[in-house]
Amino acid sequence: MDDYNDHESIQLSDILAIAKYRTLGICKALGIERERFRDWVKSRPGFIKPTLPAMGQGTKAGFTLGDVYAIALFKKMTETGFKRELSADIVSNFMGIVSGNPIEFIQYLICIVKTNPENGEQNTTISMIMRGDGLDTLDIHLNSKAVKFDVPVDMDDLGWEGMFIFNIVQLRQSVDLALSNAGL
């Protein structure tokens, strides 16, 4: 089986060891109703895709830790008001990756929303911010504390009207704690 990232040969036993999270455990840890999760996986096209699909009747799909982080991000995005299709498109960049999943390294996910004045269509631009990206800094003051976010330098000429910033560092920490509390 090939890894999509670097085309190194990956053995099924390696995938089985890495894709150790199952649907029930994920639902319990992240507080997702089982039927809702099943809908996310089974819908056409599937919003959530396991790294290791169920291999037939009686087998269970397997998810990696990166998949679980992506599922938590999908949940957070839909709770924030993002459409499931857009959320799935974004998190698909983090699903099914056996090693080196970028969601395990990024700090913030910035979604910049803009509307095309000609047709009224909304487009969302995604930026993944890692430490040391060398981007401009946006100062935001929350509860009398200054918070600095690195943002793309050329944002002002995009005609953007809204921005959503997801703290992936905090998301990973809360998922790790939830998985630990669920005994996973």
pLDDT at residue 7, rounded to an integer: 40
Higher-pLDDT residue of 74 and 44 is 74
pLDDT tens digits, residue range 138-164?
555 556 665 665 555 455 555 566 778
What whole-number distance in Å separates Cα of residue 26 and Cα of residue 49?
13
Exposure pattern of 130-148 as b/e (b: 16+ CB <10 Å)? eeeeebeeeeeeeeeeeee
Higher-pLDDT residue of 54 and 177 is 177
pLDDT at residue 76, rounded to an integer: 95
Q: Is the pLDDT of residue 110 over 60?
A: yes
Higher-pLDDT residue of 6 and 10 is 10
CA atoms within 13 A on the CB side of 115: 6
Q: Is the peptide bond before 45 cis (omega within 30 degrees of 0)?
A: yes
Q: Nearest-CA neighbor of 152 among 142, 171, 165?
A: 165
pLDDT at residue 178, rounded to an integer: 96
Amino acid at 139: D
Q: Is 154 exposed, middle or buried (0-12, 13-18, 19+ CB in 10 A)?
A: exposed
Q: Is the pLDDT of residue 137 over 60?
A: no
Q: Do 128 and 135 contact (CB within 8 A), yes or no?
A: no
- The tokens of 142 are what? 């929350």
pLDDT tens digits, residue range 93-108?
888 887 788 898 888 8
pLDDT at residue 109, rounded to an integer: 86
* Percentage with pLDDT > 90 across the chain: 30
Higher-pLDDT residue of 112 and 176 is 176
H runs (alpha helix) in 4-83: 12-18, 23-30, 34-42, 65-80
Does residue 124 sit in helix, strand or coil?
strand
Q: Nearest-CA neighbor of 33 among 42, 23, 18, 43?
A: 23
Q: What phi, psi does 101 have (nearest 5°)?
A: -65, 125
Q: What is the rounded end-to-end Cα distance, in angstroms, of the chain?
A: 26
Q: Is the pLDDT of residue 72 over 90?
A: yes
